[in-house]
Structure 1
Amino acid sequence: MKRFVMLSMVFVLALSIFAGCAKSGDGGKASQEPTTSSQLADSTQPTADKLPQVTLKIMIPGDRPPDMDLIIAEAEKRMKDTINVKLDIVFVPWSDLAQKTQVTLGSGENIDLIFDAPWLHINQMISNGYYEPLDDLLAQYGKTVLEKRPQQMWDANKYGGKIMAVPLGVSYMSGNSYMIRKDIREKLGIEPIKTYDDMIKFAYAVKEKEKGLVPMTAAGSTAQQQYSLVNFRSLNDYQTHIRATHALGNSLTLYYKDNDGKVYNLFEDKDQVLTWLNDARKYYTDGLIYKDILSAKDFHQLFKSGKAAITPNGSFGLGDDFINSLKQNAPGAEVEMVTFFDSTKGANYANFKQWNFLAVPKVSKNKERAVMFMNWANEKDNYDLLSYGIKGKHWEEVGQDKMKLLDTTNYWGFGYVWVWNPVDERSEADGDPTTHALDMILRDADSFTTDILTGFEFDTSAIQNDISQYNTIEAKYYPAMFNGVVDPATTMKKFEGEAGPALKKIQNELQKQIDAFLAMKK
């Protein structure tokens, strides 16, 4: 869940106070020391010995860990002589999150901090006036919150030109890789894979010499089409930088390329995408792709069961689940990560958009203290406490930016729903050094070329019916075509005949709004 929620799987404003907080080039850290909660308490109550105690009610998604009360007790102990806050943390099951949070906000129930997201209903809740603008509150009480996130992240996550919620994120794009059966590669005498062509040659070798082993899998469902054969390949397109638009999620029937601010239509401007579609068709007809790809509910399961040699992975890390499942189902099997990610500075585009946020509802009677708590939670020691638990019991420190988990049964990390920032997040000490180095690149805003559409928000109200109509038609054609199951030439004609008019309306509306956005930036 953590991977896909952020997924998961995510980046809100240029504030004048940043003038004195110029970045030092260290991946988002400010050149001055963050303001501590103690200093904030002193500055907000210069004549008082102590702030009056308040209880903050915080609503976040997930399951309550068994040791949560221990963490709350330690946090309240640390806050007692500074911001003097008690915590009432309400956990909402993921399955109930949309309804529960919407009902809570609509009823006017007193909540001081609440999780929201673009994939949930943050735009709707902001439009309904449920959230407090945070510019002034953060400037006065949340300087550490501001300093722990690079300016690009604030600039990119605007809502009507105001900070309406604090973005929660540690990276500016998702890692991407393929999981490869290392033992099979070595058995076939194939050198380590360096390029996409190398990987395809490996797949052909598996097809020829490893009977009963599927060379490649991918996602055959509309819900996971970012993991289709063609979509996933596009993630490492460094020639034209083809990528999905704001209009249709992970669909490449409309796409951007390079950084020209134009919207391209697959039915009219096939470009590199048609080459990928033709390649996918060849791989499928040659038997490289799992023949039942469209009916597989879990495209990773085939790999975990030891029956596939290659599968896409939405991160740079392999994950214990994959490794342990594979070893259990195929004793002696080994897995390795292969990525075609270009780590050269500026090679990747980012719009710095984040997908998780923490907001202060209008109804809160403790808005100042809520922001002071967020500031406290973004101090390193406190961040560690809320993210990993009690040091020495749930985790132990390894250097400045790593840790070793000791007990994930009684307390597990869920920092991504209430504290995440790219400066304080730690990596697991026993992780792969290569994976760690790549993840650090994803956390450095200066590693990326800024997308020309950073900060752009697409208003779908004028074409909502067209989008609904298009999505229904797309589900009939897209998964099959983008995994090579059907001939792209004949399928494209049928697809365009049914969906072309709706797609054109969506393209025109998106382009009109982009043109207006870019004109305002000049």
Structure 2
Amino acid sequence: MKRFIKKALCLVVVVCFILLSIVSLQPQMVKSAPPQTTLKLYFWGGSSLFKNVDRVISEFEKRTKNTLNIKLNLTIIPTSADYKDKMKMMVAAKEEMDLVFDAPWMNLNTFATQDVYNDLEKYFNNPKKYPGLYKAFPKDFLEANKFFGKLIAVPLTESLTDFQVVFYRLDLAKKYGLGELKNYDDLYKFMSLVQKNEKNIKTIYLGNAGWARAFKVNPNVEPNPRVQQVMSWVFTGAMALLSPDYKRVQQIAVPGEGESAFSAYPPPYNKLDTYLYYVKMARKFYPLVDKDSIYASRDNTPFLIGKYAVCEGNLSGFVSTQATLKQNVPGAELGVLICENKNVLAMKKGAYWTTMKVSNYVCVPKTSKKVDRVMQFLDWIFQNQENHDLFQFGIKNKDWIPVGRDQYKIPSVDPNNLYQFPGYQLTWNPTYVRKPADLPSEIKKWFDYQYRFDTYSKSPLAGFTFDQTPVKVEMAKISSIQSTYQLPLCAGLYPDPEAKVQEFVKRIKAAGFEKVRKELRKQLQAFLDQKYGGKK
């Protein structure tokens, strides 16, 4: 009898435990997905940037049907110029948009002063409700990417820069006995040999931007954190000199004002040639440039199909550039020349000074009625590697193949059948980086160096944004003047580029640059006062 009672009691305990477990799980079991909603997303780029996106969206919607229950409606506008104009019109018309790509080189700086976008900071400070956003975006990274104190844009990057490079036909360089190009002198020799000997291959396709990567950074100069470019016109810029403790703006000078304007700057920043390196190098290479390409549309396709021996790009584009080139030109090899400062070229720690401000963002316009749902979507992407990989690379083992913990390779199939999406418009993040497998050893070193956090040093001006509102009339005039000089200077068309830079500065001064300089210095000093606790 006692044995029976014991067994009965044990059975009761087990049953109770099971019932309690069921009750505790009940809210999760009966929890239903929220009502279905459709988000309107806006990006830019042609067919070379977006391929087979629909199947990835379908996979996302299938995976999240019982949780997020979100549908995605993508609008893709072909060119960056058309996208920039379209966004201006849609914002002016107060059209409903849920998530849009924007950047300082698009409309972001202007829209930041017009209260166009929602402040999203609360979503990144809520690890219980938005664990993906909390995990993937460190606080100091977000702070550096605020605009006028507000987190109106989600920063997208895999590293704090994407090294500027010149891609070239390594197989041709070997043919001429040059091997891998190490510097601009080698590049000049290579292009000279191509121009002289190749009947069906031209030198470089500039494409309506001039030299957009090479020459912008003087490889013979070490960066100095006291000297900061605070306004850029591509071919030159306004250079601020900070005090040794970074607490005061001592001066703002512009190349074109003469070397005396830089007399207080530390060497070699007290020499005008330091700043004119870009335009002088563009002029030096001008005889080697294919003149028909200067005013053509910006596109690397002519290089990818074997018609040109040189093009410009960024290190992250190595894999796709190499794959396409090899498919189109059997036997072709891709070489890379890094276009960065002296310390970066030596792969030193802390060599790249950065404001931590990135080049690309996504934003949620105030016309959106679904801000919470948009942020749930972004949170899902950044919750884990699997979710992130879906939008970054596509369907696993179909569009890409995982290699080890943090590498990938692309299947050997027709590239037109693979998924392609520009990660800089939605997914790039340093928490979820996969590097290409089977990289050449030297290229792998550069990828590793680029992704290392100790490669970078934080600029004293990290977090600063110039509010152009008080000088918007003058800035509009200056921008118009700049546009007339930019391509000729960057492509090397002017026989005397230094004289043209002086002419440019003279014209912008007549358009009100002194007022801009005064306002810029005022805002910079106010920023430094707040950051470092006042003047000394």
Question: TM exceeds 0.5?
Answer: yes
Out of 42, 52, 57, the residue aligned to residue 39 of structure 2 is 57
Matches within 5 A, 1:318-467: 318=318, 320=320, 334-341=333-340, 342=344, 343-362=347-366, 364-378=368-382, 379-406=384-411, 409=417, 411-467=419-475
Deviations 1:333-354 (A, max 9, x none): 5441122542322111112222
C-alpha displacement at 1:252, in angstroms?
A: 0.8
Pair 274,358 (structure 1): closer, same or farther in 2 beyond 3 Å: closer
Deviations 1:102-159 (A, max 9, x none): 5655666665444433334345555554533222233222232132134442122112
Deviations 1:42-84 (A, max 9, x none): 9xx9998445344241413257978655434443443355x44
Higher-Rg structure is 2
- C-alpha distance in structure 2 between counterparts of 1:364 and 1:497, whole Å: 45
Pair 267,100 (structure 1): closer, same or farther in 2 beyond 3 Å: closer
Question: Is 1:179 the equivalent of 2:188?
Answer: no
Q: Is the 8 A contact 2:52 2:420 kept in 1?
A: no
C-alpha displacement at 1:385, in angstroms?
A: 1.7
Q: Is the 8 A contact 2:201 2:309 kept in 1?
A: yes
Q: Secondary structure at the match of 1:263?
A: strand
Q: Is the 8 A contact 1:229 1:482 kept in 2?
A: no
Amino acid at match of 1:344: K
Q: Is the 8 A contact 2:154 2:363 kept in 1?
A: yes
Q: Is the 8 A contact 1:316 1:435 kept in 2?
A: no
- C-alpha distance in structure 2 between counterparts of 1:496 and 1:111, whole Å: 40
Pair 433,508 (structure 1): closer, same or farther in 2 beyond 3 Å: farther
Aligned to 1:18: none
Q: Secondary structure at the match of 1:397?
A: strand
Question: Is 1:147 the equivalent of 2:115?
Answer: no
Pair 236,154 (structure 1): closer, same or farther in 2 beyond 3 Å: farther
Aligned to 2:313: 313
- C-alpha distance in structure 2 between counterparts of 1:56 and 1:304, whole Å: 38
Q: Secondary structure at the match of 1:234?
A: coil
Q: Is the 8 A contact 1:327 1:334 kept in 2?
A: no
Deviations 1:465-504 (A, max 9, x none): 3333333333444444454441235444544443444444
C-alpha displacement at 1:302, in angstroms?
A: 7.0
Aligned to 2:275: 273
Amino acid at match of 1:498: R
Stretches of structure 1 that go unaligned for 5 or more consecutive residues are 1-41
Moved more, 273-282 or 173-182: 273-282
Deviations 1:231-274 (A, max 9, x none): 3x437743558998453452314345799665331012424124
Amino acid at match of 1:59: L
Pair 403,213 (structure 1): closer, same or farther in 2 beyond 3 Å: same
Pair 314,419 (structure 1): closer, same or farther in 2 beyond 3 Å: closer
Pair 241,257 (structure 1): closer, same or farther in 2 beyond 3 Å: farther
Matches within 5 A, 1:293-304: 294-295=294-295, 297-298=297-298
Aligned to 1:252: 236
TM-score (norm: length of structure 2): 0.72
Q: Is the 8 A contact 2:169 2:309 kept in 1?
A: yes
Aligned to 2:123: 137
C-alpha displacement at 1:521, in angstroms?
A: 0.8
Q: Secondary structure at the match of 1:419?
A: coil
Q: Secondary structure at the match of 1:349?
A: strand
Amino acid at match of 1:463: V
Amino acid at match of 1:182: L
- C-alpha distance in structure 2 between counterparts of 1:311 and 1:242, whole Å: 33
Q: Is the 8 A contact 1:253 1:267 kept in 2?
A: no
Q: Is the 8 A contact 2:234 2:486 kept in 1?
A: no
Q: Secondary structure at the match of 1:416?
A: helix
Amino acid at match of 1:337: V
- C-alpha distance in structure 1 between counterparts of 2:333 and 2:362, whole Å: 40
Q: Is the 8 A contact 2:34 2:68 kept in 1?
A: yes
Q: Is the 8 A contact 2:407 2:436 kept in 1?
A: yes
Stretches of structure 2 that go unaligned for 5 or more consecutive residues are 1-23, 260-271
Q: Secondary structure at the match of 1:192?
A: coil
Out of 49, 55, 60, the residue aligned to residue 75 of structure 1 is 60
- C-alpha distance in structure 1 between counterparts of 2:442 and 2:318, whole Å: 12
How many aligned positions are there?
Answer: 471
Matches within 5 A, 1:82-231: 83-95=67-79, 97-98=83-84, 101=87, 111-140=97-126, 141-190=129-178, 192-202=180-190, 210=197, 217=204, 219=206, 221=208, 224-225=209-210, 227=212, 230-231=215-216
Amino acid at match of 2:357: K
- C-alpha distance in structure 2 between counterparts of 1:194 and 1:405, whole Å: 29
Amino acid at match of 2:519: E
C-alpha displacement at 1:448, in angstroms?
A: 0.7
Pair 482,263 (structure 1): closer, same or farther in 2 beyond 3 Å: farther
Identity %: 26
- C-alpha distance in structure 2 between counterparts of 1:472 and 1:359, whole Å: 27
- C-alpha distance in structure 2 between counterparts of 1:272 and 1:120, whole Å: 29
- C-alpha distance in structure 2 between counterparts of 1:349 and 1:100, whole Å: 34
Q: Is the 8 A contact 1:218 1:229 kept in 2?
A: no
- C-alpha distance in structure 2 between counterparts of 1:306 and 1:244, whole Å: 40
- C-alpha distance in structure 2 between counterparts of 1:240 and 1:120, whole Å: 29
Pair 443,226 (structure 1): closer, same or farther in 2 beyond 3 Å: farther
Out of 480, 496, 518, the residue aligned to residue 508 of structure 1 is 518
Question: Is 1:517 the equivalent of 2:527?
Answer: yes
Pair 241,323 (structure 1): closer, same or farther in 2 beyond 3 Å: farther
Pair 176,52 (structure 1): closer, same or farther in 2 beyond 3 Å: closer
Q: Is the 8 A contact 1:60 1:91 kept in 2?
A: yes
- C-alpha distance in structure 2 between counterparts of 1:235 and 1:441, whole Å: 17
C-alpha displacement at 1:435, in angstroms?
A: 3.3
Q: Is the 8 A contact 1:92 1:100 kept in 2?
A: no
Pair 252,368 (structure 1): closer, same or farther in 2 beyond 3 Å: same
Pair 58,419 (structure 1): closer, same or farther in 2 beyond 3 Å: farther
TM-score (norm: length of structure 1): 0.74
